[in-house]
Amino acid sequence: MIRVGIAGIGFMGMVHYLTYHKLRGVKVAALCESNLKRLKGDWRDIRGNFGPPGQLMDLSGVATYTSIDEMLADDSLDMIDVTLPPALHAEVVIKALRSEKHVFCEKPMALNIRDCDRMTAAARQAQKLLFIGHVLPYFPEYAWALKAIGSGKYGKILGGSFRRVISEPTWLANYWKADQVGGPMLDLHVHDAHFIRLLFGKPHSVVCRGRMREGLPQFWQSQFDYGLQGPVVCATCGTIDQQGRPFNHGFEIHLEHATLMFEFAILGEKGDYLMKPTILEGGKVQHPKLPDEDPMNAFTAEIQEVLRCVRQGDRSETLDASLARDAIVLCQKQSESLRRRCFVRL
């Protein structure tokens, strides 16, 4: 039985808590949270853009702490799941690793490269596993693309365009503070930066154009340079002020013998495909049948991967900290390019 302590009961903390309860061989044994109401099980004020609403939770049998140091002193815990605000990730992760526990930390890994490097160094020194919660590869459309590309059936990957645009998340405090959340570049685009790194590797350079808000990228388009013979890769991301379309994402991925496409949006309160998952191949249009699109299932698959790696002592190909660090590098270089209005080398 893997015993987990969750640090932080916000939206993602609730999602992870509910997910662990679906799985065998794992138990949420401890929670750490400064909000006493939530620590007592009243999660009704928790809000997110998917999943079940917050509710009253029965936390009997779960140890509760207001101090992270007290929770880390619990030697019965095998892993700490960090779902705190991004500005707190580095310090808590490093403490958890030094307490000889594996760590699963929500994205973004940290708000700067120095902290990412400190986190990976702590994991190496402690000889413990560090996972970063980039769940996007476990969503049905992205898992489908990874499988199709990895199969080699459609030949070499030639490039792709990626889109992720939301209405401003007015319920999130400190969203536009560089030292707290980092705006849509580190909160939103980091998903696609990680996926681009996973598919194509690190580009040579990047150029980014768009508009800024409070010193942070608000809405932008980026072109990733992989050299004359490399893939052609671009991304559009950011926030808009109108609340009528709270979420929109998709991709078009070019392979030698096929093109993979999809686009999904929430309009008003209804979510639907603008283009359902599609394969263009040999003049034919195909629509593969994908698993249930409930976002909670992606978190189940993600946490199953974490638990598999902990049991077997393996690093994860998708949740490895080195990939998450590279995603932060891509985000920072795009921000630099947008501010300086020039190509930036990686």
Beta bridge partners of 220: 210, 237
The mean predicted confidence, pLDDT, of the chain is 95
In this prediction, residues 66-86 reach a mean pLDDT of 97
The fraction of the chain above a pLDDT of 70, given in percent, is 99
Provide the CATH number for the domain around residue 305. Answer: 3.40.50.720
| Inter-axis angle of helices 140-151 and 295-312, nearest 10 | 60
- Tens of pLDDT, residue by residue over 11-45, are 999 999 999 999 999 999 999 999 999 999 999 98
Q: Is the pLDDT of residue 48 over 80?
A: no
> Do 190 and 333 reside in the same domain of the chain?
yes
Q: Where are the alpha helices (DSSP H) in the chain?
A: 11-20, 36-39, 68-72, 89-98, 113-126, 140-151, 183-184, 190-200, 295-312, 321-340
> Do 150 and 259 reside in the same domain of the chain?
yes
Provide the CATH number for the domain around residue 226. Answer: 3.30.360.10
> Do 65 and 182 reside in the same domain of the chain?
no
More confident residue, 271 or 102: 102
pLDDT at 133 (0 to 100): 98
pTM of the model: 0.95
pLDDT at 281 (0 to 100): 97
> Do 145 and 225 reside in the same domain of the chain?
yes
> Do 25 and 77 reside in the same domain of the chain?
yes
Is residue 235 within 8 Å of 161, Cβ to Cβ? yes
Domains in the chain, number: 2
- SS3 of residue 237 by DSSP: strand
pLDDT at 49 (0 to 100): 64
- Tens of pLDDT, residue by residue over 123-172, are 999 999 999 999 999 999 999 999 999 999 999 999 999 999 999 988 78
pLDDT at 295 (0 to 100): 79
Residues 164, 170: Cα–Cα separation, whole Å:
17
> Do 140 and 255 reside in the same domain of the chain?
yes
pLDDT at 53 (0 to 100): 82
Q: Exposure string (b/e) for 119-150, b if CB count within 10 Å is 16 or more?
A: bbebbeebebbbbbbbbbbbbbbbbbbbebbe
- Tens of pLDDT, residue by residue over 187-197, are 999 999 999 99
**Residue 87 has what DSSP assignment?**
G
Residues 107, 117: Cα–Cα separation, whole Å:
15
CA angle at 253 for the pair 248 and 258, rounded to the nearest 5°: 135
Beta bridge partners of 27: 3
Per DSSP bridges, beta strands 26-32 and 2-7 are parallel
DSSP string of 114-143, one letter each residue: HHHHHHHHHHHHHT--EEEE--GGGSHHHH
Q: Is the pLDDT of residue 46 over 90?
A: no
> Do 176 and 218 reside in the same domain of the chain?
yes
Q: Is the pLDDT of residue 333 over 90?
A: yes
Q: Is the pLDDT of residue 94 over 80?
A: yes
pLDDT at 290 (0 to 100): 92
Residues belonging to the chain: 346
> Do 250 and 304 reside in the same domain of the chain?
no
Distances (CA, A) of 39 to 52, 60, 250, 340: 19, 11, 37, 45
pLDDT at 120 (0 to 100): 98
> Do 226 and 309 reside in the same domain of the chain?
no
pLDDT tier, 269 (very low <50, low <70, confident <90, very high otherwise): confident
> Do 97 and 141 reside in the same domain of the chain?
no
Is residue 331 within 8 Å of 141, Cβ to Cβ? no
> Do 131 and 170 reside in the same domain of the chain?
no
- Tens of pLDDT, residue by residue over 97-118, are 999 999 999 999 999 999 999 9
Amino acid at 187: D
Nearest 5°: phi and psi at 135? -80, -15
Q: Is the pLDDT of residue 291 over 90?
A: no
pLDDT at 47 (0 to 100): 76
Helix (H) and strand (E) counts in the chain? 10, 15
Residues 312, 293: Cα–Cα separation, whole Å:
29
- Tens of pLDDT, residue by residue over 63-73, are 999 999 999 99
In this prediction, residues 306-323 reach a mean pLDDT of 97
> Do 113 and 164 reside in the same domain of the chain?
no
Query: Which domain does 254 fall in, by range?
Result: 136-293+327-345
pLDDT at 121 (0 to 100): 98
